[in-house]
Each structure stands twice: as structure tokens, then as C-alpha cells.
Structure 1
Amino acid sequence: MTLLLSALQSPTGPAASREAVRFGDLSLTYGELAAASTALAARIADAGRVAVWATPTPETVIAVVAALRAGVPAVPLNPRTGERELAHILADSEPTAVLAGPDDALPPALGKLRRVTADARAFERTDGHPAVEADPEDPALIVYTSGTTGPPKGAVLPRRAIASSLDALEDAWAWTGEDVLVHALPLFHVHGLILGVLGPLRRGGSLRHLGRFSAEGVARELGSGGTMLFGVPTMYHRLAEVLDGPAGAAGRQALTQALTGARLLVSGSAALPVHDHERIAAATGRRVIERYGMTETLMNTGIRADGVPRPGTVGPPLAGVELRLVEEDGTVLDGPEAIGEIQVRGPNLFTGYLNRPDATAAAHTADGWFRTGDVGTVDADGYVTIVGRKATDLIKSGGYKIGAGEIENVLLAHPGVREAAVTGEEDPDLGERVVAWVVAADPGSPPSAEELADHVAGQLAPHKRPRTVHFLDALPRNDLGKIMKRSLHVR
């Protein structure tokens, strides 16, 4: 098979001196990353399985690349994971070593593992850069899910799935080795690590990681040669807030110019509100495009670089991916009015949950489709719109199926609303009633619940109006900026 990261195999000449990754003032060329990862790969070749203390640093890149080159499955660990969850992940995945930076302070739970240091400043240089000729089905990464319905499950991602998704994005986004990607995403999940690190390295391009997200950092890196920006909705919302600031505000002009000059602005991991789409487009003339993926499936759909951007949609299926909508009884749905669970099939899928054959079987249909648990629609052009999660975002009220996402977008378009989330609650008459959770733009003078309910009813339909509105100081979010709806309940 083609090596997963062939650009790192034997870089020489100009290829060796091209910048591969940059974190602040520390950068590694392809030659340096190849040498550092080769030296580390030799030290873990017999490890069986390794954990990676996935800080936003070049050491994490070296560690993951070394594991891939050694043919050793890597388990990225979120440094902010709590003691109980970390203990579960370690017991489940059974790594024999942990790869970490020289200055990383590791928690006691990792104390029993052999520590292998990845160092971006001091590493052994070698003449050869061998890599294991691994089978496409061999596990590359074991990435743990968020655990919203129980303890986190380890999704086993084969090399085939990573290569398939990254190559499909190459096709969709015209992604080349000339692209310079800018992002500030964590490196322990699919978005930040596979798309944000392995994506540029597979293309032979460059990554500039901000370490910590800031509008100033985005403006600086995009304005000095960056061509692509990856972010989550929270990040784009903050950029939109700067763009909406008063004329002459610090950083507004620089950010506007930087975003205008970027080749591609991509948002993922959650839906980007239409209101933020429009604010960014109005200020820069550029449209943010969205894609849709999961830990278990990597990338499923995406707006193409040469396609028509449609705010609120995540584009058509990527090359090689099949997608269908299914009713609760298993009936396959069709037509632009259909709303159902999204199921996918293709080379982008994981091989299963580690040590969980029961969960793996339950996640698939008899004919091999993966049950995403997401609910959506597909228009006549094949563009997919995500309504939300089947468990939390599909509200059945008065005989209607209501998607929380469309109500949230309407609420966010109200000038008195800064943030909004919509859930369903049991109702003796309707079955479920629509409930809105709102952060007011002006907490001292929030819009009334009746005003917001009428706003939704006037824009959508009377049966979609919130029956209850709760005002909060902030919405609960996870590390990716996703709203944790299971945490929204009346106390």
C-alpha cells in the first residue's frame, strides 16, 4: 500500500527543508520531523500499544508520527481527562508505554507505564528513515468517544480509514502540498489530530498550530502565508464578534484581510449557526464551509471547494461514502422532505470498538451500515442538513418531528440572543415540548420568553415555538465547543 505519510519517508533537498509543523516559535522541517520520529519509532517498535499525552505541542506530532511509522497503535490522551475516566481508558486500552514531552507532568495513573520522551529540541539524527509497511486494516489510532451514554469506548481506526478520509478531502477541497493549514484545535481527537495534523503531512504541506486560539493568532498566521483555517463554531463565533466590532477596533482590519485572503475556511465538530455564517460573509466576502464526521466514521460529507456553499448544510457525501436516511423501524427514506437517522457505509469507517463486540454489533445494521445516531435531511442536490442527535435533538411534539437545530438558528438571529440551545422535555399533552436555553446579549435586559417564542413561531411554524425559555449566564460546552445538552435541565 502507499505509505500513510510518504512525504516523511526519505525527504531530501528542498523537501527536507520545507516546514512541516510550527507551534509558536518552534518549528520542524520535514527532514527534522522524519529524523525525530524515526529515532522515537525505534524505541517503541516492540511496545504493542502506546499512549500519547496529547498536548498542543510538536512533541505530540513527533509521538503520533513515530507510532504510525513503527506500526504501533497509538491512544491519544486528553491531558484534561479526569482521574476516573483516565483510569478507564488505560485499563481498557492497556498501553505498555506513554509518549510525552520532556517537561510534561504526568498524573499518577500513568506512573506504571514506561515513559518514552519525545523532544522537538533534542533528538537523534539518522541517515535512513524507514517505516513499517503496515497492512491497510492494521489499527493506527484508538480514539475514545466522549462517553455521553456510558464509559468512553475506544474506536479502533485502521490506516485504511485515515487514508480514505484524507484523500476524499484532498479531492473535495483541492488540498495540496502548497497549502498551509492554521488551527488551534486539541490534538487528542479526529478533527485536530487526523484532519489537522495528519492531513497536512499526508499532502506534504504545512501546519501552523496556534497553541491557544485567538483572533490575533488567526490574523497573524493567515496573513503571513496561511491558506486554510480549521475551527469549531465557538472559534468562528469569536471571529465574527471581532469582525462585528466598531470600525477601527484593534485587530478588526487585520482579521478581515486575513480571512478574505484565505483559500478555505472550514468549520466542523458541531453546526455553525447561520447567523455567524452571515456575519463572516458580510465582513469578508468569504463563506465558511462545513463538513460532517464522527470519531467512528472520520469524514462523511463536506462542502466542496468548487461547490455552492449553503449555510446550515454540511454538503454531499465525500468520495467513497454512501449515506442514507432511515426511519425508526428501519425503513429507508427518500425525498427532500424526509427526516431520519443518518447511516453511512464506506472505507472511512472504523473497525469496531476495542473490547466491545456487543457495542460494535449494535452500532451496525445487518447489511453493514453504521448507525450514526444523527438525524438529518438530504435535499435534491444531495446536500445533507444535520437536524441533531437522535437522542437529544429530535423532538416529537404534537405528532410533529421537530429538529432542534433550525429553532436554534432562528433564536440566534434575534438581536437579544447571544447563545441558544433547544431541547425537548416530556409533556403530558404534546408528548414533548420545545424548551429553549438562552444566553441574552444583554443580561440586564433580556428579551421576554413570549417575544422569543413569537419570533420562532413567526419565522418557522406555531408548533415549533418554545413552550419554556430558560435564561443562563453561559451554555455548558466540552473541549470542542459542543454544547452539552445532557447537562441542560432544571435544577
Structure 2
Amino acid sequence: MIQLVERAHAFATRTAIKSEGQDYSYAQLLAASESVARKLLNGEPDLNGARIAFLVPAGFAYAAIQWGIWRAGGVAVPLCEKHPLPSIEYVLTDTQASTVVFSADYAALLNPLFSNPAFVFLPAEELGQEKGPLPEVDPTRNALILYTSGTTGAPKGVVTTHANIEAQITALTTSWEWHPDDHALNVLPLHHVHGIINVLSCALWSGACCEFLPKFREAGVFELFRRGEVNVFMAVPTIYFKLIAYYHTLSAKEQEAISTALVKFRLMVSGSAALPVSVLEQWKAISGHTLLERYGMTEMGMAISNPYHGTRRPGHIGQPLPGVEVRLADENDQPLTATGQPGEIQIKGANVFKEYWGKPEETSKTFTPDGWFRTGDVAVLNEDSYQILGRNSIDIIKSGGYKISAIEIEEVLRNHPGVKDCAVVGIPDDEWGEVIGASIVPAAADLDLPALKAWMNEQLPGYKTPRKYLLQEDLPRNVMGKVTKQAIKDLFVNSSGHL
């Protein structure tokens, strides 16, 4: 039984989702998802874990399709609307998705794949009424595959079960005191745990309302805030940075109206990347709220959070959530006991993912012999609150809420005939947390950099393409011949010679 779906019956008449200028009740969500499930089953009794990918805009259709996949016994694989075709094809091939549900908005993007016999493409607009029973879905079944990039460079599919998802939801709804009268605005990508679990699923679990905008615009967000319905907002630091910048372009009267609306909010959260203290302080001056920072990953949902009630310390992520065990460990996976001693964050709990799809060795390597998940993030425990210091690997770049593999980008760059060698690093940036910088060793002196940038935009999503380039005769290396990425980072930070 999928508890998230079952609970919706108790909220049947309440508004579940606002999108496309319409209000949709929980009863409508249940009916629509049941119709989707029956269409996907096509007369079969159970999808039995078949991977069903879907590409639809954020809103009611997204929720109905996701729930429909689950209710039919399938595994939901949400695709990112901003990804180029090669990234989408990679996910479809890796998961061996049997069906791809898509809306007309993305028909042109997916068109080159329509002739591929490996996939069945099903227009979302054709998900009409069907008849037939639905299967019983055990909580231990696989429910969701979300893709993240690891230090190996290739994106990995993170598999979570219905039980994992329920644990992730209940930890947050308990700690952040979600209730049916909450009204959340969701401006986060729905191929990412932040938008799927922290906002959409927590709202629907609680009988609350989740609202979507057709497109993120600072003016549109503030206009919605001023209406007085929204009282819960979650975003990445980059979004807060953009809202603050826009706020300062407004008249004093407009600023006052926005601040008056914001101070009435119940909860404001920042996550997916480190929140600069300057952004926290500026937002507090505007809204009267100290943003609640928390810590999580695709592999575990949220694990640590600042308190809903009580002091929130800038630069700290707080304490473990209910049902989550946290320890700091040394390089030998031995737990540290001294306060203030840096160590890797390691996690245990029902929230932790099941496996990386089709990668048993990768799965095994990310867990200790006694079952702790190795996050790769280094932190210290200051009194009763954890503080993130950084990652074990310099090959993970945090930009705009995304964790991006430098190695993946390097592999793409090396496929360009004009690139002899390269190294990719994260460069500190107030707005994005980090921006991507690529140090290039050209294969010839006449490298056409604008053409290279245009080519990269065709190969990778925009958030994975370098913002800055540095041309070098060779890459700096240590005595063992390994590229010293910190030296490249320093060149970007201290030099004005990048392009």
C-alpha cells in the first residue's frame, strides 16, 4: 500500500495543486492518477517494477502521472525538461525504460527518439479513462529513480523504495510541522529530490496545497507572495540571490508590501547548496525570517536540519532528523568522538536509498562494511550543530543547487577535436555558489572558443556547461603526474586572463 496515495482520500475535497490557473482537489488527483495507472497497465495486472519515464511540465499532470506510475506498480523516472537530448537518451537507455510519457510541449525535443523501437512513447494527453483493477503495491518495492553525478563522472540512477520515500517525507513533515492549511509554492525542478520530496510530497502527505508557476520570474514570485495565500517556501541559494537582487530594484512602497507579506510566512527553507551568510542576512532584513538550512542528498533525502523552533546558526545545518543516525568518521570509517574534529558525514536510516541502478560495485563502495552511507561531505560538530566544510573530492561542483561532476564534463570536452587536454573545477561565486571553469590545452593554436562553447551547449544541460575558460599550454601536475586542480582553481580566482 502506498501511504502517500492512501492518505489523499482523507483530504478529498481540499485543494491539492494549483497550476495552469486552476485548482485541483485531492479527489481529482486520485481519479486522474487511477486513470493513468490503468492506461499504463493496458490490461496487465501489474507493471512489476517496469521503469516508466515521463517528461511533462511541473503541475497537476506531473503529480497525476507520477502517482499513476506508482499505483500501476511501476518505477517513476522523471526526466529533466532542461536536459538536451543526449542526456535524456542516456537516462532512458540506462534505466531500460519501457514507456516514455510526454506532453506535447516536448514532442519536438523527443522526436529524434520516436523511431527507436526500444521505447514506447505515450502522449500525456491520451491518458484517458480506462477500466480495470489496480495492483497491491508493497512499500518495499522500487518507486523512483533519480539521476545524480558521482566522482566517476557518469550519472548514476539512485533507486528509492516507497518505504524510503515515506521515511523521507515523515521526517520532514514531523520536524517542520506541516499541516493541511499550508500552501507551498514550488519553483524547484521536479527531477530532483528537493522539489519532489521536500515540497510536493510533503504537501500532499499533509493535505496541504502545492502551487506551481508556469515559469520562474522574480516578479511573478513576489506577486504571488503578496496575495497572502503562500506560507511555505523552499529554494536554493541562487533563487534567494535573484529575489534579493530584484527586490532592490523596486520602489520603497513595493518593497514594503513584499516585506509585509513575507513576515507572515510560516516556514522558509534553503538547501541543495551552501547558503552564503550574506544572503541569509539580506533575506532576513527583507522578510524577517532566518532561513532554515538543512542537509540532504539524492541518495537519502534530508538527513540533518536546523530546528523549526529554536536557534538557527548561520553556516550550520543543525541536528539529525527523526529516524536518522549521523556520525562523523575518519578516512578508515572509524567514528570520531571529539567535538570540532572534521570527519566525513555518514548516515544510517530508513531514508537511505536502496542502490545505484545497475551498478552493484558503485553501491557497495558507497556503504561501509557495517552499513553506513558515505556521503563524501566533510563536517564538524560544533556544540550540537553540524557545519559543512566541503567535499572529500574536488571533482564535485555545487552550482545553483546542483551537484555536478567535473569528470563528466571533462570527458565531454575531450571528445572535441580542438581539445588536447582539460580540467574542470568549481570557482567560488556569490550568486551560484560555484560556477564551472574549464582549463583547456588546445590541440592547435587556432582553437575557436565560441564554437567550442556552442558545441558544449549541445552536449550537456546548461547548468553543466562551463561559464569560464582558461587556455593553457599544459595543466599543472604533481610529481606523480596527477593534475593539481587546486592550482587551477587558484588561477581562475586570482587571474583576470580567463575567457
Asked whether 1:63 is paired with 2:78, we answer no
With over 3 angstroms needed to count, the CA separation of the structure-2 counterparts of 1:16 and 1:37, relative to structure 1, is same
Which residue of the partner structure matches residue 40 of structure 1? Answer: 36
Per mean C-alpha deviation after superposition, the further-off stretch among 300-309 and 97-106 is 97-106
**Percent of aligned pairs sharing the same letter:** 33
> Is the CA contact (8 Å cut-off) linking 1:54 and 1:187 kept in structure 2?
no
Distance 1:119 1:334, change over 3 A: farther
Moved over 6 A (4+): 417-420, 422-428, 431-437
Once the two structures are superposed, the pairs formed by residues 213-228 of structure 1 within 5 Å of their partners are: 213-223=216-226, 224-228=228-232
CA-atom RMSD, angstroms?
3.1
Confirm whether residue 248 of structure 1 aligns to residue 244 of structure 2. no
Partner of 1:117: 123
Structure 1 pair 174–110 and aligned structure 2 pair: CA distance change class (3 A): farther
| Distance in 2, Cα, partners of 1:436 & 1:245 | 36
Consecutive unaligned residues of structure 2, counting only runs of 5 or more, are: 397-427, 438-475
Distance 2:323 2:113 in 1: 41
Structure of higher RCO (CA pairs closer than 8 Å, 6+ residues apart): 2
Q: What are the Cα deviations for residues 354-373 of structure 1, in whole angstroms up to 9, with x where unaligned? A: 11110000010000001111
> CA–CA distance in 2 between the matches of 1:49 and 1:468?
42
In the superposition, the TM-score normalised over structure 2's length comes to 0.76
For residues 282 and 39 of structure 2, the distance between their equivalents in structure 1, rounded to whole angstroms, comes to 50
Secondary structure class of the residue paired with 2:340:
coil
Tell me which residue corresponds to 2:6.
6
Query: Which residue does 2:239 correspond to in 1?
Result: 235
8 A contact 2:2–2:162 mirrored in 1:
no
Compute the displacement of 1:255 (Å).
2.5
Alpha-carbon separation, structure 1, partners of 2:40 and 2:24? 21
Task: Give the Cα separation in 1 of the matches to 2:338 and 2:435.
Answer: 26
Return closer, same or farther for 1:82/1:284 CA change in 2, 3 Å cut-off: closer
Q: 1:143 is matched by which residue type in structure 2?
A: L
Give yes or no for contact 1:321–1:347 (8 Å, CA) kept in 2: yes
Any conservation in 2 of the 1:6–1:202 contact (CA below 8 Å)? no
The 5-angstrom pairing of residues 2-401 of structure 1 reads: 3-8=3-8, 10=9, 15-45=11-41, 46=44, 47=47, 48-105=50-107, 106-107=109-110, 108-109=112-113, 111-112=115-116, 113-119=119-125, 123-124=128-129, 132-146=135-149, 149-223=152-226, 224-245=228-249, 247-248=251-252, 251-381=254-384, 383-392=385-394
Q: Judging changes above 3 Å, is the alpha-carbon distance between structure 1 residues 155 and 467 closer, same or farther for their aligned structure 2 residues?
A: closer
TM-score under structure 1 length normalisation: 0.77
Mapped to 2, the partners of 1:311 and 1:356 lie a distance apart of 37
Change (3 A) 1:215 1:84: closer
User: Does the Cα contact within 8 Å between 1:339 and 1:376 map onto a contact in 2?
Assistant: yes
Q: Structure 2: which amino acid aligns with 1:16?
A: A
Change in Cα spacing, 1:125 to 1:359, as seen in structure 2 (3 Å) is closer
Q: Report the 3-state secondary structure (helix = DSSP H, G, I; strand = E; otherwise coil) of the residue aligned with 1:372.
A: strand
SS at match of 1:341: strand
Structure 1 residues 39 and 237 mapped into 2: Cα distance closer, same or farther (>3 Å)? same
Whether the 8 Å contact between 2:38 and 2:134 is mirrored in structure 1 is no
CA distance in structure 1 between the aligned counterparts of 2:33 and 2:220, rounded to whole angstroms: 28
Specify whether residues 103 and 275 from structure 1 end up closer, same or farther in structure 2 by C-alpha distance, changes over 3 A only: closer
Q: Which runs of 5+ in 1 are unaligned?
A: 395-410, 438-465, 473-488
CA deviations over 1:95-146 (Å, ceiling 9, x no partner): 11112224431512355422333349x85499x9x76432221111011113
